[in-house]
């Protein structure tokens, strides 16, 4: 059966939603399906943690390339780092020979932060929406967008930057990362028009049949609706088929839980055009598996015997919590691809440490966080907070107005307020909030549920830039200052736990994240494999087939990547609330 979102589609189709719900799989399968119909297709990933190349088993990168195994299909992965360097070159090349070296150095420093990276990626994004040559070359452009928070921010930017420059046309000459924007206002407004026109753009919200995910998607729908993207579709991906639950209590509980989540779906989602896609027993890697995504599964492809690897154990999360408890305090950071369960693991670790009598502050910097839903209660010794980008930006804006705004006349105050409306202000505000919280780790535990991989690396880039600036300003004495980056690099003060699923893409992305962290002199302390079917020992042939696919990946984590490992089994009851989170630590 053809998914509803594939019927009568316009030139642009976007797949967006929380990390880990299958956006990449659906985008790739859609691109293949359309190409198989004879349509000329360009598949674009704007996710900083893109794995489209892994899905097709070929190098793609920042330039458009043809997919070797699919006629009519081309692809590209927008690389934020490449885009940022191109943007810097565009700004600096015309003035390299006419400006003093110290002025050039100052501009380069302004253009080295994550705000420049975001603006540059945005530039690439709007060009794809407005490029007439691409429109003539391809019938459809399929976008595999970044996780929810990143996507909303990117989709808001065309209006934000366009309005900002309209209201303050002289700003681009003085605002560092904004300096290259003044020539592109028409392109930005055209991008806004394309995004909000249902004859040009279809946006597909991708979700799992989980209450927490559907609540987040409901929020995403509202935010997108209010910025003009009102014709949206909903795709519920990875629904466990009822026939997979025969004689298996775990599978039956999952089927019932998913059915309840769908029945209680928020009203704004229930009114959208809906497609449900069944979970597959195989990993969605390679062209043939993508072609099978929209087709029924053959019964004879399922396995009935659970595989075993004698050298693989499933140590519980309790082993890591015990080691942490001995230290008595410190920063514990959860990192990994979106959708792997960082929020749940962070909450579980925090609950376990608080239960042992430690003071714990559980916090998140993820724009799509749902800590309050996961905890669903309170506990002695445990405090919870969220770094809300909008709230922190307003706090920072008011602080600047109260201090730098003192004594300014009306015109000067208006200029300062206009400057603070720049989207770059949010980057500064969130970083300051992050820095405030981690100071608490000197006398208690701070457990941080960080954002998905791309966001995390941008955050670490900001802390690194801050450290370098402190050292520069303080000279030799600055080498001993304890900046946030220095604290992250100290294994006695910070424990980084990489969370993953026992699936190909999350494990590869986690391994790449580990290498990025090591280049920043941050050594991950442990890996946590979440939601493992192999550790749950299922009896359903469908779940056995999926569980058997996990074992080689778990072995890779244990033998190739991790210093130490904990494995959390797939839960029959959704791990929400203090009681269930406590059980999760011991795989009960």
Catalytic positions, written as ranges: 20, 22-25, 47, 505
Cα-based distances in Å from 456 to 108, 120, 433, 539:
23, 18, 15, 38
Q: What DSSP letter does each residue of 503-538 carry, written as one string? A: SHHHHHHHHHHHHHHHHTT----EEEEEEEHHHH--
For 351, the token pair is 């609950």
Three-state secondary-structure class, residue 192: helix
Instruction: Answer positive or negative: Cα dihedral of 431, 436, 437, 439.
Output: positive
What CA dihedral angle connects 42, 46, 49 and 51, to 10 degrees? -10
Cβ pair 397, 423 in contact under 8 A: no
For 8, the token pair is 């009568």
**In terms of Cα–Cα distance, which of 510, 519, 521 is closest to 560?**
510
Instruction: Answer positive or negative: Cα dihedral of 96, 101, 102, 108.
Output: positive
The radius of gyration of the chain from alpha carbons, rounded to an integer in Å, stands at 24
Cα-based distances in Å from 470 to 427, 463, 466, 481:
18, 11, 6, 8
Q: What DSSP letter does each residue of 451-500 carry, written as one string? A: PPHHHHHHHHHHHHHHHHHHHHHHGGGGGG---HHHHHH-TTTEEEEEEE
Q: Rounded to an integer, what distance in angstroms lies between the CA atom of residue 545 and that of residue 252?
A: 16
Question: Phi and psi of 570, rounded to 5°?
Answer: -60, 135
The DSSP call for residue 280 is: -
The DSSP call for residue 441 is: G
Cα-based distances in Å from 17 to 77, 144, 366, 440:
18, 10, 14, 33
For 575, the token pair is 């791990």
Question: Phi and psi of 412, rounded to 5°?
Answer: -65, -40
Cβ pair 451, 48 in contact under 8 A: no
Question: Phi and psi of 216, rounded to 5°?
Answer: -65, -40
**In terms of Cα–Cα distance, which of 508, 560, 555, 561 is closest to 532?**
555
- Geometric angle at alpha carbon 415, from 187 and 158, rounded to 5°: 20
Q: How many helices (H) and strands (E) does the chain have?
A: 24, 15
**Burial label, 452 (beta-carbon count in 10 A; 0-12, 13-18, 19+):** buried
Chain centroid offset of residue 241 CA: 27
Cβ pair 27, 65 in contact under 8 A: no
């Amino acid at each position: 059966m053809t998914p509803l979102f594939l019927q009568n589609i316009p030139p642009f189709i976007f797949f967006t939603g929380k990390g880990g719900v299958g956006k990449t799989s659906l985008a790739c399968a859609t691109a293949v399906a359309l190409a198989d119909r004879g349509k000329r297709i360009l598949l674009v990933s704007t996710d900083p943690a893109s794995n489209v190349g892994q899905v097709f088993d070929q190098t793609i990168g920042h330039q458009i390339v043809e997919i070797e195994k699919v006629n009519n299909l081309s692809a590209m992965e927008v690389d934020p780092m490449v885009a940022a360097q191109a943007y810097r070159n565009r700004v600096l090349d015309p003035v390299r020979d006419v400006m003093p070296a110290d002025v050039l150095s100052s501009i380069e420093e302004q253009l080295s932060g994550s705000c420049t990276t975001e603006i540059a990626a945005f530039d690439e994004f709007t060009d794809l929406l407005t490029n007439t040559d691409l429109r003539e070359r391809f019938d459809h452009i399929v976008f595999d967008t970044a996780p929810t928070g990143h996507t909303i921010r990117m989709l808001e930017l065309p209006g934000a930057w366009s309005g900002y420059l309209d209201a303050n046309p002289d700003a681009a000459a003085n605002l560092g990362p904004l300096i290259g924007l003044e020539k592109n206002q028409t392109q930005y407004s055209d991008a806004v028009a394309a995004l909000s026109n249902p004859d040009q753009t279809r946006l597909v919200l991708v979700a799992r049949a989980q209450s927490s995910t559907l609540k987040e998607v409901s929020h995403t729908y509202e935010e997108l609706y209010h910025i003009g993207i009102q014709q949206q579709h909903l795709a519920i991906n990875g629904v466990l088929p009822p026939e997979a639950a025969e004689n298996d209590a775990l599978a039956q509980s999952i089927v019932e839980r998913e059915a309840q989540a769908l029945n209680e779906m928020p009203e704004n989602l229930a009114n959208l055009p809906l497609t449900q896609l069944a979970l597959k027993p195989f990993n969605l890697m390679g062209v043939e598996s993508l072609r099978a995504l929209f087709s029924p599964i053959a019964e004879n492809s399922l396995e009935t015997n659970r595989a075993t690897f004698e050298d693989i154990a499933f140590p519980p999360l309790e082993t890591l919590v015990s080691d942490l408890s001995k230290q008595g305090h410190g920063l514990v950071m959860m990192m990994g691809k979106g959708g792997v369960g960082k929020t749940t693991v962070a909450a579980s670790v925090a609950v376990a440490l608080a239960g042992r009598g430690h003071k714990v502050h559980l916090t998140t910097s993820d724009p799509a966080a749902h800590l309050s839903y996961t905890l669903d209660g309170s506990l002695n010794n445990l405090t919870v907070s969220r770094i809300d980008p909008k709230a922190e930006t307003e706090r920072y804006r008011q602080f600047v107005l109260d201090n730098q705004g003192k004594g300014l006349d009306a015109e000067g105050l208006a200029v300062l307020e206009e400057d603070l409306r720049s989207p770059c202000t949010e980057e500064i505000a969130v970083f300051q909030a992050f820095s405030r919280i981690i100071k608490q780790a000197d006398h208690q535990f701070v457990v941080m549920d960080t954002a998905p991989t791309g966001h995390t690396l941008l955050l670490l880039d900001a802390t690194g830039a801050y450290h370098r600036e402190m050292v520069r300003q303080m000279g030799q004495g600055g080498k001993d200052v304890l900046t946030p980056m220095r604290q992250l690099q100290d294994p006695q003060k910070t424990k980084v736990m990489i969370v993953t699923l026992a699936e190909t893409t999350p494990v590869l992305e986690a391994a790449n994240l580990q290498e990025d962290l090591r280049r920043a002199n941050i050594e991950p302390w442990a890996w946590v494999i979440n939601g493992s079917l192999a550790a749950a020992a299922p009896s359903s042939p469908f779940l056995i087939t999926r569980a058997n696919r996990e074992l080689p990946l778990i072995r890779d984590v244990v033998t190739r990547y991790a210093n130490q490992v904990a494995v959390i089994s797939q839960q029959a009851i959704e791990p929400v609330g203090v009681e269930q989170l406590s059980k999760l630590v011991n795989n009960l």
